[in-house]
């Protein structure tokens, strides 16, 4: 009886509450991600990205930029030689819900300074739903990088987290391109 009670208690804790977003899983469509690019345009993934593979490198804090930057640099340099029509887009996704509204313009100007205009189009600023994305990505460390590989149809092919590893990036890009 004690074993059954313990098992029921463990099961109750493992079930997500109603309405909680499920963690991203390979084979599922990327949930809607509404963003403003650093260039000022509105973007909705996966809808606006369909037709091209995407690697989303997600950060939840200013400190995470130190971990996301190597992923982005390696993704861009690896994707650059590919033909434009089939090139994977490397998105820098910044979760900024915790930035006070009055400071957002200042933060955006600081992020734009020194960043080429073509890269500003791939920096996605997310000011809402950050908690849902924390759950979807299983965020345990806001200072880490969370990486999502999506194919040209917006289907999640794989996720990973932590510091950049070239072999892992190559695996993700291979899954995106099929």
**What is the average per-residue pLDDT within 153-171?**
97
Contact 173, 57 (CB under 8 A): no
Helical packing angle, 65-79 and 166-177, nearest 10°: 50
Count Cβ atoms below 10 Å from residue 160 Cβ, excluding itself. Answer: 15
Whether 117 maps to a domain, the answer reads yes
pLDDT value for 111: 85
Contact 144, 153 (CB under 8 A): no
Which residues 6+ apart lie within 8 Å of 106 measured at CB? none
Write out pLDDT tens, residues 106-150. 888 888 888 899 999 999 999 999 999 999 999 999 999 999 999
Separation CA 170–CA 176 (nearest Å):
10
- In this prediction the pTM is 0.85
Residue 1 has pLDDT above 70, yes or no: no
DSSP symbol at 84: G
* DSSP H helical ranges for the chain: 2-14, 65-79, 104-112, 117-120, 130-137, 166-177
Whether 67 maps to a domain, the answer reads yes
Which residues 6+ apart lie within 8 Å of 31 measured at CB? 21, 24, 132, 136
Residue 83 has pLDDT above 60, yes or no: yes
Whether 11 maps to a domain, the answer reads no
Whether 126 maps to a domain, the answer reads yes
Count Cβ atoms below 10 Å from residue 91 Cβ, excluding itself. Answer: 25
- Longest CA–CA span in the chain (Å) reads 65
Q: Tell me the C-alpha to C-alpha distance, in Å, between residue 160 and each of 78, 157, 164.
A: 18, 11, 10
Average pLDDT, the chain: 87
Whether 15 maps to a domain, the answer reads no
Separation CA 118–CA 2 (nearest Å):
61
pLDDT value for 19: 65
Write out pLDDT tens, residues 6-41. 333 333 334 444 567 899 999 999 999 999 999 999
Write out pLDDT tens, residues 35-74. 999 999 999 999 998 889 999 999 999 999 999 999 999 9
**Reported confidence tier of residue 89, pLDDT bands at 50, 70, 90:** very high
% residues pLDDT > 70 (the chain): 89
The domain total for the chain is 1
Whether 8 maps to a domain, the answer reads no
Whether 146 maps to a domain, the answer reads yes
Q: What is the CATH number of the domain that holds 104?
A: 3.40.30.10
Residue 115 structural domain = 20-177
Residue 93 has pLDDT above 60, yes or no: yes
């Amino acid at each position: 009886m004690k074993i059954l009670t313990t098992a029921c208690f463990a099961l109750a804790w493992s079930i997500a509450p109603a309405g909680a977003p499920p963690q991203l899983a390979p084979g599922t469509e990327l949930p809607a991600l509404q963003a403003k690019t650093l260039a000022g345009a509105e973007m909705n993934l996966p809808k606006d990205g369909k037709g091209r593979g995407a690697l989303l490198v997600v950060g939840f804090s200013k400190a995470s930029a130190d971990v996301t930057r190597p992923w982005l640099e390696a993704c861009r340099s690896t994707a650059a030689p590919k033909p434009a029509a089939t090139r994977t887009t490397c998105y820098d996704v910044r979760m900024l819900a915790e930035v006070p509204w009055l400071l957002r313009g200042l933060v955006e100007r600081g992020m734009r300074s020194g960043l080429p205009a073509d890269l500003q189009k791939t920096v996605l600023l997310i000011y809402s739903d950050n908690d849902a994305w924390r759950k979807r990505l299983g965020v345990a460390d806001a200072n880490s990088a969370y990486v999502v590989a999506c194919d040209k149809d917006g289907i999640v092919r794989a996720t990973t987290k932590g510091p950049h590893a070239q072999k892992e990036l190559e695996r993700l890009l291979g899954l995106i391109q099929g």
